[in-house]
Structure 1
Amino acid sequence: MIDTGAYVDQAFHGYQASQQPTVPQSGNKAVKKMSMEQINTVAQDFEAFFVSKMMETMMSGIKTDGPFGGGQGEKVFRSIMIQEYGKEAAKQGNFGIADAVQQQLLKMQEVHGE
């Protein structure tokens, strides 16, 4: 008989370890080397990702119908469409997430002496 308790315990401890917050170290080279252009790009990419995930959740409940609706093709198309919606929404800058991320990255650079 298989001891599933050991597997569950191992998975739970792995999950707990993955949820521990990480604090940037003073030697973090990735933060120090970012130019303003790179910071803008990273911030906008993060906003696009966040908005895409939000839209994905919103659209997950929409049912497809009709003789041509549904299927694997629509799942793939919808995924790509949602990613593009997220990118366009981030370009508009109406959410303000990119601005907040940009400010935090700049603060991290100041803390690290750049």
Structure 2
Amino acid sequence: MDIAALPAIMNAASLKDANETAPEATRRDEEIRAKAKEFEAVFIAEMLSHAGLDKAVSENSGHGGEAFSRMLVEAYAEQLADKGGFGLADQIYRQLKGQSS
């Protein structure tokens, strides 16, 4: 890649963003927010698992109980993330939104 061509490429990218229609921008914004929330849910699920919640739920219940407890932890994590979680999704969203502008 020619370094001299870099400013032209960057200008073309910013013009593309400027010409983006409102529905496309809204769709991309919603997609960024959803992915940030999804990441926070996965993060919370891992924290709950490492804290021992999955083992506490599946104590003496065999393989079925282990699978159920993992699903339960994931459901709890999704609900926590939907309710605002730790604010991690908001921070990730703001960071990604700033980079996409």
Instruction: Please indicate, yes or no, whether the TM-score normalized by the shorter chain is above 0.5.
Output: yes
What RMSD in Å do the two structures reach over aligned CA positions? 2.2
Runs of 4+ in 1 over 6 A off after TM superposition: none
Structure 2 unaligned regions, length at least 5? 1-9, 11-16, 18-23
- What code does the residue aligned with 1:71 have? G
Q: Which one has a larger percent helix, Structure 1 or Structure 2?
A: 2
Deviations 1:61-100 (CA, angstroms, capped at 9, x unpaired): 6372xxxx32101100000001101100000004101101
5+ long unaligned stretches in structure 1? 1-25, 27-31
Residue of structure 2 in register with 1:53 after alignment? 46
Change (3 A) 1:83 1:94: closer
Normalised to the residue count of structure 1, the TM-score between the two structures is: 0.59
Equivalent pairs counted in the alignment come to 76
| Identical counterparts, % of pairs | 26
Provide TM-score, normalisation by structure 2: 0.66
2:87 counterpart of 1:99 = no
- Pick the aligned partner of 1:80 from 40, 59, 71: 71
CA–CA distance in structure 1, aligned partners of residues 51 and 85 of structure 2: 18
